[in-house]
Amino acid sequence: MNEQEVKYYSVTQYNKAIKNYLDEIDALRDVHIKGEISNYRGATRGHLYFTLKDETSRISVVMFNAEGRLDFTPKDGDEVLIDGRITVYEANGGYQVYADKMTLAGNGDLLKKLEELKKKLQAEGLFDEAHKKPIPKYPERIGIVTAPNKAAIKDILSTIKRRYPLCETILFPALVQGDLAKDSIVKQIEEANDPKYNLDTLIVGRGGGSIEDLWAFNEEIVARAIYDSRVPIISAVGHEIDFTIADFVADIRAATPTAAAEIAVPNLADLLNTINQYKIRLNNNITGNISYLKDILKKLSTSYVLSNPLATFEIREQKLDELVNRLNTNLIHKLDVSKNRFDSIKTKRVLLHPEDILVKYNNSMELVINKLELLNPLNVLKKGYSVTKVNDKPLKSIKDVKEKDKLNIKIIDGEIDAIVEGVK
């Protein structure tokens, strides 16, 4: 073929042709795919973008206007069923699934059951903060309810040993997956509450997994065993994104088994550092106080009072002499004043004639008698007034008397008893 006869097409033209070709294939217009979500990106303007994968392959998925169309919140690791169509995205030439419908694979009934139990237990108060018990800060013995041969127990034990080797741990081995797991977990929680173990804290959990793997921790009997536990419980079920009923009932929830161990025990290195800081501060305070007291002692030892103890005594003796002299002077002055007054009175008595003294006395007595007469209440009665009493109390107001009351009326020359016939 001649080079001049070859026709070249653009990338866009080929991508569009491939898209049109695939769109005409009936088998790709209505596809039903099962796979696991990965590389999930949350809703952008209501659209979802993620990869759907299985053990050997993957395919891109987009779901437009997803808001309100899903009964769950997608996340990486979810196994889902997708109904849609496969076509080509012309911009990059990649083919992808346009999802019209998406549901959790086999989890719909489980999620519904989980939500119903959650509402029931919440209504009974099993999730209330008032029932949460505090986790001891410095435990001596911690119990662990989990599988004995899984990664979770290794993570918990290594974390406790690294952070707080003073703490003793006791494993209560339990099944954490399968139909028998719920009874096994409940049995071990009840066993751990036996006073003979004297536990400070109990960690209950397992590593991550699907909702089916973790379902034992969503069982009602497990939730009630956690609620009834005398020992404070830290739930450590799955990964950070996993939530179970056990997490809501437990006294505190840890994102992972390792995080549970970190909550359960303090960091010994931090404690030693804090103690060291206190030690430094205490030493500084003691040193400072000693230095302060030394300065005071030095000042006292070189003070004028201690170096010349008699000087203070001499000063006080001088002040005492001054006070004695002032006292004597005041006494002599008061005696002189009293003597002068006495002499003056004596002289006046000698000069006054007895008859003059008698006249002055009579005049004074008459003045006193006149004043007393003015104050005599009987003088009021002489003018025609009277004093009325009811129940031996002076009658001051019409409000103080009522019909049939007995009255006593005092006038200048006697008393009158009367009965009230009416009050106006």
Question: How confident is the model over 205-260, as pLDDT tens digits?
Answer: 998 887 788 899 999 999 999 999 999 999 999 777 768 999 999 999 999 999 99
Q: CA 377 to CA 248: how far, in whole Å?
A: 92
Residue 97 CB neighbour total at 10 angstroms: 21
In the chain, DSSP finds a helix count (H) and a strand count (E) of 13, 14
DSSP track, 333-365: HHHHHHHHHHHHHHHHHHHS-HHHHHHHHHHHH
95, 85 in Cβ contact below 8 A?
no
Name which of 137, 121, 154 is nearest 245 in CA terms.
121
Beginning with the edge strand found earlier in the chain, give each strand of the sheet holding 252-253 in spatial order. 168-173, 141-146, 201-206, 233-237, 252-253
CB within 8 A of 218, min separation 6: which ones? 114, 117, 244, 245, 246
Beginning with the edge strand found earlier in the chain, give each strand of the sheet holding 414-419 in spatial order. 393-394, 387-390, 406-411, 414-419
The CA-atom distances, in angstroms, between 312 and each of 305, 306, 307, 323 are 7, 9, 11, 17
What's the token pair of residue 257? 């088994």
**φ, ψ (nearest 5 deg) of residue 32:** -130, 110
204, 235 in Cβ contact below 8 A?
yes
407, 401 in Cβ contact below 8 A?
yes
Tens digits of per-residue pLDDT, 286-309? 989 998 998 888 887 777 666 666
Output the tens digit of pLDDT for each of the chain's 424 residues.
Answer: 455 678 877 877 877 887 787 777 876 788 899 888 888 887 667 788 898 988 888 888 998 888 778 877 888 888 889 899 888 887 877 888 989 998 887 665 677 788 889 999 999 999 999 999 999 999 999 999 999 988 899 999 999 999 999 999 999 999 999 889 999 999 999 999 999 999 999 999 998 887 788 899 999 999 999 999 999 999 999 777 768 999 999 999 999 999 999 999 999 888 888 888 999 999 999 989 998 998 888 887 777 666 666 666 667 777 877 888 888 888 888 888 887 887 777 665 555 555 665 666 566 667 766 666 666 666 666 667 778 888 888 887 888 888 888 888 888 788 888 888 887 7
Q: CA 297 to CA 315: how far, in whole Å?
A: 24
Place of tokens 């041969």: 149
